[in-house]
């Protein structure tokens, strides 16, 4: 996995992955219904809905502008253990990061 920076996303892609991973580690994702989740972010609690086709929507302002955010990515990671493992491995390789325990369910 290659983590890049994109101005279009408004946030370096690697930072978005890191924030999503932190949401997972801190257990800030709460299932509230069938494929519906509350995610407690830095600036509020947002609702993420996962559709039947696997796509997601988030109620945060960032998702409204860019169609992607760390909240929606965290929900995708929570529902895809292989994605979570890949992100965890890449984040542990980042300079200045100390490896923590696995967040697998």
Instruction: Give 98's DSSP letter.
Output: P
Question: pLDDT tens digits for 6-55?
Answer: 444 456 777 888 999 999 999 999 999 999 999 999 899 999 999 999 89
Torsion of CA 17, 56, 27, 30, to 10 degrees: 170
Give the predicted TM-score (pTM) of the model: 0.76
Q: How far does CA 98 lie from the centroid of its chain?
A: 19
| In the predicted structure, residue 67 carries a pLDDT above the cut 80 | yes
């Amino acid at each position: 996995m290659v983590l890049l920076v994109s101005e279009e996303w408004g946030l370096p892609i690697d930072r978005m992955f890191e924030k999503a991973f932190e949401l997972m580690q801190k257990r800030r994702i709460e299932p509230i219904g069938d494929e519906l989740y509350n995610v407690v972010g830095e600036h509020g609690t947002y609702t993420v809905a996962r559709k039947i086709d696997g796509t997601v929507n988030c109620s945060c302002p960032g998702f409204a502008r860019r169609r992607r955010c760390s909240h929606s990515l965290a929900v995708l990671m929570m529902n895809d253990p292989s994605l979570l493992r890949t992100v965890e491995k890449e984040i542990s390789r980042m300079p200045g990061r100390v490896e923590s325990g696995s967040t697998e369910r």
